[in-house]
Structure 1
Amino acid sequence: MAEDTGGQSRKSNKVARLIAEYDLDESLGDELEQLWTAEDQQRKSLRDLADLFNQRLLESAMASAGISTVDGEISNLYRLLTADDVSSGMQTEARNRLERDGVDIEQLERDFVSYQAIRSYLTEYRDASYEHPSDSEQVENVLDSIRRLQSRLRSLTEGSLDRLRSTGRITLGEFRLFIDIDVLCEDCGEQYGVIDLLERGGCDCNDGT
């Protein structure tokens, strides 16, 4: 009985059904799974994936109605339809425009999925899972992010100073940049550079206490 129930759940999955009904690319399921299980900054949350999927539904509905779009129009229309910070007047205007152009906006909005539906699709329908990185991997990920930010900040600052100097807007001789972030632990009183702190595994709070 348990297997029959699971099979029925897979067949009735809302996201899988909508992929077929809206004639979406069959690779969309792979794309959603890859984005959910990706590493570091490439990974998308379930809410992000729900927004992505709903925008694909909107794009398909507009294409079926013969509506041509330009870059960025789909994401902007979706924002007007769903964002909390959009006025009711702007939302109504967007809905009326789509309705005039032949989109069944009420059905489309009923078909919009939640992040829970995406999670059900990925974990129950596709049997996907996301493994959280280990503690050491998480520390390394943070270190890599900080180093990349420092590198971008160094490049931006050096380029800006060079341009200001070359155009006579500031006076500056040869220079070196020091881009450091220090962390002061108010419990043990020790201060460390943030990279040093992460590499050594923390401060001395637990040493001998």
Structure 2
Amino acid sequence: MAEDTGGRSRRSSKVARMIAEYDVDESLGDELERLWTAEGQQRKSLRDLADFFNKQLLESAMTAAGISTVNGEVSNLYRLLTADDVSSGMRTEARTRLEREGVDIEQLERDFVSYQAIRSYLTEYRDASYEQPSDSEQVESVLDSIRRLQSRLRSLTEGSLDRLRSTGRITLGEFRLFIDIDVLCEDCGAQYGVIDLLERGGCDCEGET
């Protein structure tokens, strides 16, 4: 489906819909584009922008429910709802609190956007562009694949443990999962988590790659 804005046909965008539905300041779109196309350390990745955008949705939903917040509270709640290193008990507690105070948490979580949605919004809806080196694109693609697999494994494991615990098949208190893959370079002896290794650009080996 396409939208016609100012005489120009554009593909529909979940990000644009959420900006309208959550009554978020329309300048947020300009801010997303500015941060994505900025130079140097000011530039934000698509994943960072997705987190930034979703926090705006969370804050808007809390405001609409009449919930007052203090500095840093929205970011902390978003972390509790989405971070991989948060225990199931802490996540449930955060969801229950928001639901009790009037936030439709299930709908909100469905409305959270992915980095792919941010990319489509910027490149197809706003016609923005950023030339990223091809090597970086390949590394980022591998990182995304690993993170998706880790997220799926975490979700599967956590759900399975919860079900086994709730049915009395195992004994387990509040728990936290650690999904790590380490890489050991046998040439230089350095060992890193695979994500750390990719983000730092390799191990301690010297010489041409």
For this structure pair, what is the TM-score category when the shorter chain's length is used for normalisation?
0.5 to 0.7
Work out the CA distance in 2 between the residues paired with 1:129 and 1:118.
12
Per the alignment, residue 41 of structure 2 pairs with 41
AA partner of residue 30 (structure 1): D
- Divergent runs of 4+, >6 A: none
Could you tell me which runs of 5 or more consecutive residues in structure 2 were left unpaired when the two chains were aligned: 134-207
Per the alignment, residue 88 of structure 2 pairs with 88
Work out the CA distance in 1 between the residues paired with 2:66 and 2:100.
12
AA partner of residue 34 (structure 1): R
Work out the CA distance in 1 between the residues paired with 2:10 and 2:100.
36
Displacement, 1:36? 0.2
Per the alignment, residue 70 of structure 1 pairs with 70
Q: Secondary structure at the match of 1:10?
A: strand
Per the alignment, residue 139 of structure 1 pairs with none
Per the alignment, residue 23 of structure 1 pairs with 23
Displacement, 1:26? 0.8
AA partner of residue 80 (structure 1): L
Percent identity reads 83
Larger radius of gyration: 1
Q: Normalising by structure 1, report the TM-score.
A: 0.60
Work out the CA distance in 2 between the residues paired with 1:64 and 1:99.
13
Q: Secondary structure at the match of 2:129?
A: coil
Q: Secondary structure at the match of 2:89?
A: helix
Work out the CA distance in 2 between the residues paired with 1:32 and 1:95.
27
Q: Secondary structure at the match of 2:10?
A: helix
Work out the CA distance in 2 between the residues paired with 1:84 and 1:10.
35
CA contact (8 A) 2:11 2:124 kept: no
Residue 14 (str. 1) matches residue 14 (str. 2): yes
AA partner of residue 92 (structure 1): T
Deviations 1:171-202 (A, max 9, x none): xxxxxxxxxxxxxxxxxxxxxxxxxxxxxxxx
Could you tell me which runs of 5 or more consecutive residues in structure 1 were left unpaired when the two chains were aligned: 134-204
Displacement, 1:6? 5.4
Displacement, 1:132? 4.0
- Aligned alpha-carbon RMSD (Å): 2.6
Work out the CA distance in 1 between the residues paired with 2:76 and 2:94.
10
Deviations 1:37-83 (A, max 9, x none): 00000000000000000000000000000000000000000000000
Work out the CA distance in 2 between the residues paired with 1:17 and 1:77.
23
Per the alignment, residue 58 of structure 1 pairs with 58
Work out the CA distance in 1 between the residues paired with 2:99 and 2:2.
38
Per the alignment, residue 115 of structure 2 pairs with 115
- How many residue pairs get aligned? The number is 135
Displacement, 1:106? 0.3
Work out the CA distance in 1 between the residues paired with 2:70 and 2:10.
36
